[in-house]
Amino acid sequence: MAHTMTIAPGSSSIDQPLEVVPLGGLREFGMHMMAISWGETTIVIDAGVLFPESEMPGVDLIIPDVAYLEDTGRRVAALFLTHGHEDHIGAVPYVMPLVDGPVYGTPLTLALVASKFEEHGLDAAGRLHRIGPRDTVEVGPFTVEFLRVTHSMPDCVALAIHTPVGTIVHTGDFKIDQTPLDGEAFDFHRFAELGRRGVLAMFGDSTNVDRKGFAGSETDVADAFEEIFTSTSGKIVVATFSSSLYRMQIVVDLAAQFDRRVAFVGRGVVENSLVAQELGHLRIPAGVQIRDAEVRHFPAGDVVCITTGSQGEPQSALSRIAIDDHRHVKLAPDDVVVFSARAIPGNETAIGRVMNHIAYRGAEIIYEGLKHVHVSGHGSEEELKLLLSLVRPTFFVPIHGEYRYLARHARVAERVTGGRTTVLLAANGDRLRFTASTAEIAGRVPAGRVLIDGSRTGEIVTEVLRDRRHLSGDGLIVPFVAINRQTGMIEGVPDIITRGFVVDDRTQSILDSAATLLSDLVAEASIEERTDAGLIKERLRLGLQREVKRRSGRRPMVVPVVMEI
């Protein structure tokens, strides 16, 4: 049942315009964050991350730059979360020092955030407030209403923010799933009612605006998976995002139907499956689930593994399985590996490498291009048109996507509304100002990216300062290793260059033994790992970094250079 929570308002002039500043998620995919202010009250929607590319050594996460909030002394009265994907909640622990009030989200979203609080040593007591669809929360001059939307995971909401100058709709991530797996339907009626009453501005997800038609239901992949279960005599390994709980449920249900056992392999899917089971979003019949250590004790044809690594991440469970380096899961020629996720742009090479290793094991590989084993969680063009038709905003701001996606969404909006809706093509840091009848981009505020080295107790600095502090404090070590492309054997003696790494009696002994350590790390790797530049670089980086930290307490930036000869 809907209910209302209230936070005391601050003083403000009625003439004050509404200010909206996107801090992430525009002209890029991920790192979503938006600040909305009226008078003295500021609220923030989402706080997400980007994951680093391979050429960002020493970087674990990328989060939005919040200098706009810090420099102006703005305190956040409340943080609202639309759903539990990392690109919407991953930065929450890092922005909490700026949040005076509570964090609002659905039960699943907050359960995922709570684990981050625990990991970062933050006290969640009294900070996390559960909400549900049709609930409302009052924060100063804002009344925030939560609307059920469907996506690729449960418990997702859009926001209708009722402000002194009009209603703002933030769609969050959404698609229109007519047959949702959990039976929780998209709230067409409330969106349409808001549209009839008048919506000042809508901020809309643009991720799949370049795809025609409808995205399809999460249940659409069931037929393809059933065909795989029917035709596979060995193990089935399904690689997907750790938050793809609907996909997990479909695989679990088929496993029970075909009398197979399910093992979750990889930290992300293990943790998220436990949270989902506790909240009733993942139902596993008794006797179906086994631990990954038990996989070897069952015939291959009786097992399904759900694992992380669909994007080719070097340290993921699937990458270890692919090079036969996983303790519990081994691939054989009768096995099938299913990539049940869309390749994030930029990850194609890494995914291809993993697929090559899997093929070398003799296992069959199935991905979206071969069978319908993935469906997007974002609405395609017709769904975006439908929501625009329902809401009929006076102003429209495309969000969530690179510039070409935002521009295409702008054209779609103009066609749908016949030009009655004014489109603002904004960028991160743009200061959008709204009155009851006008909207403009009134200059810019500082915006950008902050690189996080998670191993340094969550230190947050800008990109330049992070590198300078890291290099000045601990220095840089660049090991040069030559590996024979054919044999995978190391050639010659590894060479090591240092910059800013303080050399004394203790650290000199580390450098003296580093060449031997690097040779040992290469020798201990499998032939496949040695001939995969991405995997062997990561092995050398982690191995040398751990050894230096163990013996000196320092953590220099380690950037291996692997030359294949």
Catalytic (active-site) positions: 205, 378
Number of alpha carbons in the 13 Å side-chain half-sphere of residue 114: 18
Alpha-carbon span 133 to 139, nearest angstrom: 17
Alpha-carbon span 147 to 188, nearest angstrom: 9
Kind plus residue range of the DSSP H or E element containing 426: none
Across-strand partners of 476?
499, 557
Pure H helices in 363-402: 381-391
Residues in the chain: 565
Alpha-carbon span 42 to 136, nearest angstrom: 17
Q: Which two tokens stand for residue 125?
A: 């007591």
Residue at token pair 């697929």: 355
Across-strand partners of 451?
62, 461
With a CB cutoff of 8 Å and minimum separation 6, the contacts of 438 are none
Number of alpha carbons in the 13 Å side-chain half-sphere of residue 149: 29
Do residues 497 and 480 make contact, with C-beta atoms less than 8 angstroms apart? yes
Q: How far is CA 217 from CA 47, 122, 280, 372, in A?
A: 27, 37, 20, 12
Q: Which two tokens stand for residue 522?
A: 């290469």
Alpha-carbon span 374 to 455, nearest angstrom: 34
Residue type, 438: T
Q: How far is CA 521 from CA 478, 525, 531, 536, in A?
A: 16, 6, 13, 9
Dihedral over Cα of 109, 111, 112, 117: its sign: positive
Do residues 219 and 181 make contact, with C-beta atoms less than 8 angstroms apart? yes
147 in helix, strand or coil?
strand
Alpha-carbon span 80 to 131, nearest angstrom: 10
Residue at token pair 């701001």: 397
With a CB cutoff of 8 Å and minimum separation 6, the contacts of 411 are none
With a CB cutoff of 8 Å and minimum separation 6, the contacts of 216 are 375, 376
Phi, psi of 49 (to 5 degrees): -125, 165
With a CB cutoff of 8 Å and minimum separation 6, the contacts of 106 are 81, 83, 84, 130, 131, 132, 146, 155, 156, 157
Do residues 65 and 48 make contact, with C-beta atoms less than 8 angstroms apart? no
Q: Which two tokens stand for residue 501?
A: 């790494």
Residue type, 195: G
